[in-house]
Amino acid sequence: MTPTQGLEEEVVRICQDLIRIPSVNFGEGKGNEKEVAEYVAASLEEVGIKTTIYESAPGRCNVMARISGRDSSRPGLVVHGHLDVVPANADDWSVNPFCGDIIDGFIWGRGAVDMKNMDAMIIATVRDWSRTGYVPPRDIVLAFFADEEAGSILGSHWMVDKHPELFSGCSEAISEVGGFSVTVADGKRFYMIETAEKGIHWMKLTAHGKAGHGSVMNQENALTRLAEAVAKIGNHEWPQRYSTTVKNLLKKVASVTGKAYDEKDLRPLLLEIGFAARMIGATLQNTANPTMLEAGYKANVIPGSASAVIDGRFIPGFEDELNETITQLVGPHVSVETIARDIALEVPFEGDLVDAMCAAIIKEDSQAIPVPYLMSGGTDNKALAKLGIIGYGFSPLKLPEDFDFVAMFHGVDERVPVEGLTFGARVLKDFLENS
């Protein structure tokens, strides 16, 4: 038995178990993480790690634990994940979305990459420590949050607002969507470490007009006004806006691939980074995507109002540009209401913690090239930032060259490679023991 065999077997088992507990978040406060939270708490308690479940609303559960390190005078590290997953339509899938089965070397099911794989890595690592008596170099705060898939209102934001003392003494944090591999020219592998996140502005548009009979002329049709506004937003060509993180990433891409680096237009370099091009492409500009529509109640009645939801994401430093552009596009007959808003984040790709991430990856893959990237979505690191905690995305995975990792997020037939998961568990353990 190799030194890490127990860790690797357990991370696979735990990931399967977590997927088989459907902790679906339907949005608008509708979700339930209680069963999966109890599983996590029991897994930690079984090896002597004291845990507490915090219920922010009925069934909306967050799990917290603190592991004392050898030097508690050092700033602590928050290691966190979220327990909720987005819905899955079983009719669209090749398998039961909550089967957790291993098929063709992959663990299948909703949450396999977002983000029960990382939850499993965390749990397997600290269970291994408890069994062997290992004490980490500094305090580790474990946080498993609710509600991340609907703005984190009942999860990390609630915990930070109601129980900030649980994070006392912590200066840094790690969580999802970072440390995954992307194969580029000549088989070289980038490992994308998330050091920045776009900000979030979810908006409800409401068009106002004149209600009336569907058979008569109506130049004040709310639905028409809404449709025009939504089309303008959906078809708007946003200007390129390059953050420091994006520039650093694409400079490295150019260097490794031998391609030209031209800040007049960095989009050609996206061709060199495979599946990551869609994710990185969305970080070269602000975005605003229509996602929901609601209007009318009868075929022959023109409604007096109609509404839509827009998912807006802004580059660090360009929130005002997003909001001003949306206002201009919708025109005078459509109001804009904020549903949810959260900050953009950006930190340098440097320092002891980043060095430890890079070293842990390179130890397991000598050909690795760690690079920073700006994430198009957001994580619970946004909430922790309110406490001055600097967050990174670091849930390491070594991925097959032809595996479309980005398509797995909220996608059909979500799955994670078993070998990638066990690689991640080894890297995470090494990182936590040397950070």
pLDDT reading at 348 higher than 90: yes
CATH (domain of 137): 3.40.630.10
Same domain assignment for residues 318 and 399? no
pLDDT at 1: 61
- Looking at residues 338-352, what average pLDDT do you find? 94
DSSP label at 75?
P
- Looking at residues 199-208, what average pLDDT do you find? 96
Same domain assignment for residues 394 and 266? no
Domain assignment present for 371: no
pLDDT at 151: 87
Q: What's the structural domain count of the chain?
A: 2
Residue type, position 164, single letter: P
The residues pairing with 106 across neighbouring beta strands, listed in sequence order, are: 103, 417
Same domain assignment for residues 91 and 232? no
- Looking at residues 331-351, what average pLDDT do you find? 94
- Looking at residues 268-281, what average pLDDT do you find? 94
The closest alpha carbon to 433, from 347, 357, 349, 351, belongs to 357
Domain assignment present for 240: yes
Using DSSP bridges, classify how beta strands 199-208 and 140-145 pair: parallel, antiparallel or unpaired. unpaired
Residues 6+ apart with CB under 8 A from 9: none
How far is it, in rounded angstroms, from Cα 334 to Cα 206?
5
* Number of residues that make up the chain: 435
Same domain assignment for residues 116 and 214? no
Domain assignment present for 348: no
pLDDT reading at 154 higher than 80: yes
pLDDT reading at 404 higher than 80: yes
If pLDDT is split at 50, 70 and 90, which confidence band does 262 have?
A: very high
End position of a domain, from candidates 326, 342, 358: 342
pLDDT reading at 5 higher than 90: no
Same domain assignment for residues 120 and 55? yes
Domain assignment present for 352: no
End position of a domain, from candidates 342, 363, 391: 342
Same domain assignment for residues 268 and 221? yes
End position of a domain, from candidates 342, 366, 401: 342
How far is it, in rounded angstroms, from Cα 381 to Cα 76?
15
pLDDT at 223: 95
**CB 301, CB 211: distance < 8 Å:** yes
pLDDT at 4: 85
- Looking at residues 167-189, what average pLDDT do you find? 94
**CB 163, CB 99: distance < 8 Å:** no
If pLDDT is split at 50, 70 and 90, which confidence band does 3 have?
A: confident
Same domain assignment for residues 279 and 210? yes
Domain assignment present for 355: no
Scan for tokens 């540009």, then name that residue. Answer: 321
Which residues span the domain enclosing 305? 198-342
Same domain assignment for residues 145 and 236? no
Domain assignment present for 404: yes
Same domain assignment for residues 142 and 9? yes
Domain assignment present for 292: yes
If pLDDT is split at 50, 70 and 90, which confidence band does 187 have?
A: confident
| Distances 367 to 181, 186, 189, 316 between C-alpha atoms, Å | 11, 11, 7, 31
If pLDDT is split at 50, 70 and 90, which confidence band does 340 have?
A: confident
Domain assignment present for 413: yes
Q: Which two tokens stand for residue 202?
A: 């979810």
